[in-house]
Amino acid sequence: MFDSLNRVEISRAALRYNFRFCRARAGDAAVMAMVKTDGYGHGLVECARIFAGEGAAAFGVAEVAEGIALREAGLEQPVFVLAGLLPGMIPALLQYNLTPVVVDRLILPELSRQAQLSGGEIGLHLKVDAGMGRQGCLPAAVPGLVREIEALPALRLDGIMAHFPMTDDLDPANTRQVFDRFTGMIQDLADDVDIMLTGCCFHIANSGGLLRYSMTRLDMVRPGIALYGYYPEGEPGRTGAGPEALQPAMRFVTRIIQVRNVPAGTALGYGRTFTTGRATTLAVLPVGYANGYLRSLSNRAEVLVCGQRAPVVGRVSMNLTLVDVTDVEGPVEWGGEAVLLGRQGDETITADELASWMDTISYEVLCLFGNLNRRYYLD
């Protein structure tokens, strides 16, 4: 069996370093390692095992299926299912001891009924909409929901959480406002004589909250992108971090399958969007949008060849990309390595840089590359 010419390399050492980096900044708060979406493209189970070895108190996944995969791999820490539930998922939730994150009252009666049938009790966390308008209950609905949870048999409220909408914003005013509203709501609940919050875990801090706003740590923090070596605000975060910056854990490499010379005036790729202005040496790479290297990188991105930057020319195809290596010093060889993401020699292309070329964010870059290509784990 032949391996693909395209490979995503994941550094276990970088993952361990990044977890320790986050752990050191969490204070007394527990760390829930976010491993959803296949560990942001780095591998769900492998990342969870690494983070568990470093002391992760819990894991965050998007779907029940991801939680089941962690349990079947032998992970015993609490696993939070964050992206919502439907009634048909409850049996698996109970069987695999997964923690539901509840966003409204609709699921509560069925959760209670099935938990009673199983002969046990299920602990849940309630998610509050802190200003994203995406998922969760409105703050005004929280007291009623808490009372309903406390009244229903076999349900136990173990925590209340929210999610910052703007921790990539370097202006702290918005984050401070969201945090104050969340903690004010908690205080109002604590002052309500009809509500018991004994042992309840409160958490709101994602990577941005953890790294930039120490007051947001509360009982638990939920780093995601930081565990994989990137900052929510992108390159400004790395620039301001100094020598102890997070370490990107992913490298995406391919091989040169042809080196060819074309004359000036040669049109390249679909749509002939680039025409050579001089005699040009091209490196042909067996990678394209099928591998997550999107068409938006056409005539914009750069690739590392022989430790030097070389521009992508012409449109990125499904499985092929052209790179102008005319100015690259050193032998550009058939079969040689080309780096799409990561370091080669003294040069580095980051996911933030790729994101700027793709008009997106580093999260999408990592998920695309990691989930569409075979991963190899190093060190």
Residue 56 has a pLDDT of 99
Residue 345 has a pLDDT of 97
- From CA 50, how far away is CA 10, in angstroms rounded? 12
Q: Are residues 219 and 319 in the same domain?
A: no
2 in a domain, yes or no?
Answer: no
174 in a domain, yes or no?
Answer: yes
Q: Are residues 25 and 153 in the same domain?
A: yes
Point out the residues of the chain with pLDDT beneath 50.
none
Counted residue by residue, the chain has a size of 379
Domain at 265, CATH number? 2.40.37.10
Residue 235 has a pLDDT of 76
pTM to 2 decimal places: 0.95
Ordered DSSP codes for 281-350: EEEEES--GGGT--GGGTTT-EEEETTEEEEEES---SS-EEEE-TT--S---TT-EEEEEEEETTEEE-
DSSP state of 135: S
Q: Are residues 305 and 282 in the same domain?
A: yes
Element (H, E) at 34: strand 30-34
Residues 108-117: pLDDT tens digits?
999 999 999 9
349 in a domain, yes or no?
Answer: yes
- From CA 123, how far away is CA 111, in angstroms rounded? 10
Residue 173 has a pLDDT of 86
Q: Are residues 125 and 109 in the same domain?
A: yes
Q: Are residues 240 and 263 in the same domain?
A: no
| SS3 category, 241 | coil
Q: Are residues 287 and 235 in the same domain?
A: no
| SS3 category, 69 | helix
| ∠ Cα 39 337 299 (to 5°) | 80
- Picking from 244, 261, 283, the residue at the C-terminal end of a domain is 244
Residue 197 has a pLDDT of 86
Q: Are residues 205 and 57 in the same domain?
A: yes
Residues 92-102: pLDDT tens digits?
999 999 999 99
Residue 1 has a pLDDT of 61
Residue 193 has a pLDDT of 67
Q: Are residues 191 and 336 in the same domain?
A: no
Domain count across the chain: 2
Catalytic annotation, residues: 36, 270
Residue 155 has a pLDDT of 97
Q: Are residues 216 and 274 in the same domain?
A: no
Q: For residue 317, count CB atoms less than 10 angstroms from its CB and return exposed for 0-12, middle for 13-18, buried for 19 or more.
A: middle
- From CA 338, how far away is CA 139, in angstroms rounded? 51
Residue 166 has a pLDDT of 78
Q: Are residues 117 and 63 in the same domain?
A: yes
299 in a domain, yes or no?
Answer: yes
Whether 227 contacts 51, CB under 8 Å: yes
Range of the domain at 358: 250-378
Residues 33-51: pLDDT tens digits?
999 999 999 999 999 999 9
40 in a domain, yes or no?
Answer: yes
Residue 195 has a pLDDT of 80
| SS3 category, 165 | coil
Domain at 124, CATH number? 3.20.20.10
250 Cβ contact partners less than 8 Å away, ≥ 6 residues apart: 8, 9, 10, 11, 41, 42, 228, 229, 341, 342, 351, 366, 369, 370
- Picking from 212, 244, 276, the residue at the C-terminal end of a domain is 244
7 in a domain, yes or no?
Answer: no
6 in a domain, yes or no?
Answer: no
1 in a domain, yes or no?
Answer: no
